[in-house]
């Protein structure tokens, strides 16, 4: 009988550990001027807009597509990043970062695309590095690299 209790205890502890474990793929990571950040993003998908972000305007990000899904890189792998999308163009991505309560948008001189792919059916976006400008102070810019993952 003791043996069964030990087996059940081991199974319970393994199950508890497995359920609470966060895999590397669940976290989004980014660096702003070589300062590292990470968080688990939240995906919000509606009829005409899909957003991936962490809802933290102090140290966070928001990625916006005017689509009814997060693209997985199957039909469009490279996405042009823009700071403003008043026409809701579905062929470009809006990407914003937040640092110390300030919003940063992509520099108008940027040519680096956002690369879309998927891991286990979940969206993954990679930015090899680009300059972003403070929304309220054009003289303040930061260099950002990122890997943004759908949870």
pLDDT, tens digit (0-9, with 9 covering 90-100), for 58-102: 999 999 999 999 999 887 899 999 988 878 999 999 999 999 999
Residues 145, 148, 151, CA angle at the centre, nearest 5°? 160
Whether pLDDT at 8 is above 80: no
Per-residue confidence band for 24, with pLDDT thresholds at 50, 70 and 90: low
CA pseudo-torsion sign 34, 36, 37, 38: positive
* H or E element at residue 6: helix 2-20
CA angle 24, 45, 125 (to 5 degrees): 40
Position 23 confidence tier, pLDDT thresholds 50, 70, 90: low
- DSSP annotation string for 18-82: HHHPPPGGGEEEEEETTEEEEEE-EEEE-SS-EEEE---SSEEEEEEESSSS---SSS--EEEEE
Query: How much is the pTM?
Result: 0.81
Mean per-residue pLDDT, 9-13: 37
What pLDDT sits at residue 11? 40
| pLDDT surpasses 90 at 136 | yes
């Amino acid at each position: 009988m003791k043996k069964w209790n030990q087996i059940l205890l081991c199974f319970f502890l393994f199950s508890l550990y497995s359920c609470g474990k966060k895999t590397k793929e669940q976290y989004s990571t980014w660096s702003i001027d070589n300062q590292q950040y990470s968080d688990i993003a939240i995906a919000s998908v509606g009829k005409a807009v899909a957003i991936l972000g962490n809802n933290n305007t102090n140290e966070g990000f928001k990625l916006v597509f005017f689509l009814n899904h997060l693209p997985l890189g199957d039909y469009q792998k490279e996405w042009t990043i823009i700071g403003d999308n008043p026409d809701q163009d579905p062929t470009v991505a809006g990407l914003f970062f937040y640092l110390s309560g300030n919003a940063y948008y992509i520099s108008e001189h940027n040519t680096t695309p956002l690369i879309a792919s998927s891991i286990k059916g979940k969206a993954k976006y990679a930015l090899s590095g680009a300059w972003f400008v403070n929304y309220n102070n054009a003289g303040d810019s930061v260099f950002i690299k990122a890997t943004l993952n759908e949870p």
